[in-house]
């Protein structure tokens, strides 16, 4: 029997855009394999909000099945265009910027600092709409920079000289994030990925940093 998922976040906007690009014959094949009713899923895409939410998980499952078969997924340590993570301890919450807010999930593996950001309107149980999307890298970074009051002080520990300190900003916020950790799984679109270096005592710490925006996040 299939395990039920405790979804925390589903981006209907991203899922609908991807769903609309799948050819009809492939949609019929995938939904038949998954035991889903394609007619109702398609109607829900253009229907009212209540109808769309009713079939949001089925649309998501259809899109994920197509992506798995067509191109597959990368991992947080070796990201491709899309990243799939089955289990990562993460802290999460809403961060406020000057013009928008973002829902932010933060975690760290042995090799990579992981940050996921998206619009709070896609939080399960949340109603209303956002006027500015928080799923693009420039808007997410604007939110993150706004909460780093001591950014200049931290710059002294950086060993790489670059005009773009975005990866350092992401790492700062992830390490500073408060609250309990929860085991999460997710699929997310990669936005930024790179390596940073910091001085720590007599050694240089080399770390990878990933910024992505999720299609979904679920508790384990």
CB count, 10 Å around CB of 91? 18
- The band of 30, judged by pLDDT with boundaries at 50, 70 and 90, is very high
Mean pLDDT of 67-93: 96
More confident: 198 or 22: 22
Q: Contact at 8 Å (CB) between 194 and 140?
A: no
**Cα-based distances in Å from 152 to 116, 165, 174:** 24, 11, 17
For the cut 80, the answer to whether the pLDDT of residue 201 exceeds it is no
pLDDT at position 152 is 47
Q: Contact at 8 Å (CB) between 102 and 95?
A: yes
pLDDT digits (tens, 9 = 90+) for 106-148: 999 999 999 999 888 889 876 554 444 555 566 677 777 665 5
99-108 residues labelled b (16+ CB within 10 A) or e (exposed)? ebbbbbbbbb
For the cut 60, the answer to whether the pLDDT of residue 204 exceeds it is yes
More confident: 157 or 83: 83
For the cut 90, the answer to whether the pLDDT of residue 76 exceeds it is yes
pLDDT at position 172 is 87
More confident: 66 or 205: 66
Helices (H) and strands (E) in the chain, counts: 8, 6
pLDDT at position 100 is 67
Q: Contact at 8 Å (CB) between 26 and 51?
A: no
More confident: 21 or 44: 21
More confident: 154 or 95: 95
Mean pLDDT of 179-188: 94
pLDDT at position 146 is 61
Closest CA to 106 of 97, 121, 95, 122: 95
Q: Contact at 8 Å (CB) between 36 and 144?
A: no
pLDDT at position 15 is 93
For the cut 70, the answer to whether the pLDDT of residue 68 exceeds it is yes
């Amino acid at each position: 029997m299939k395990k039920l998922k405790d979804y925390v976040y589903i981006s209907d906007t991203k899922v609908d855009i991807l769903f609309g690009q799948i050819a009809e014959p492939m949609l019929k094949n995938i939904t038949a394999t998954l035991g889903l009713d394609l007619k109702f899923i398609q109607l829900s895409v253009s229907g009212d909000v209540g109808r769309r939410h009713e079939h949001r998980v089925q649309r998501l499952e259809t899109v994920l099945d197509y992506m798995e078969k067509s191109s597959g997924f990368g991992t947080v340590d070796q990201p491709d265009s899309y990243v799939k993570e089955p289990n990562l301890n993460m802290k999460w919450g809403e961060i406020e910027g000057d013009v928008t807010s973002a829902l932010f999930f933060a975690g760290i593996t042995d090799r990579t600092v992981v940050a996921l950001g998206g619009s709070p309107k896609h939080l399960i149980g949340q109603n209303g709409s956002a006027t500015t999307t928080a799923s693009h890298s420039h808007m997410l970074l604007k939110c993150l920079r706004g909460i780093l009051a001591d950014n200049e002080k931290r710059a002294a520990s950086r060993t790489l000289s670059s005009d773009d300190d975005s990866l350092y900003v992401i790492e700062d916020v992830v390490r500073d994030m408060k609250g309990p950790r929860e085991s999460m799984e997710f699929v997310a679109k990669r936005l930024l990925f790179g390596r940073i270096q910091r001085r720590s005592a007599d050694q240089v710490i080399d770390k990878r940093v990933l910024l992505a925006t999720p299609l979904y996040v679920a508790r384990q």
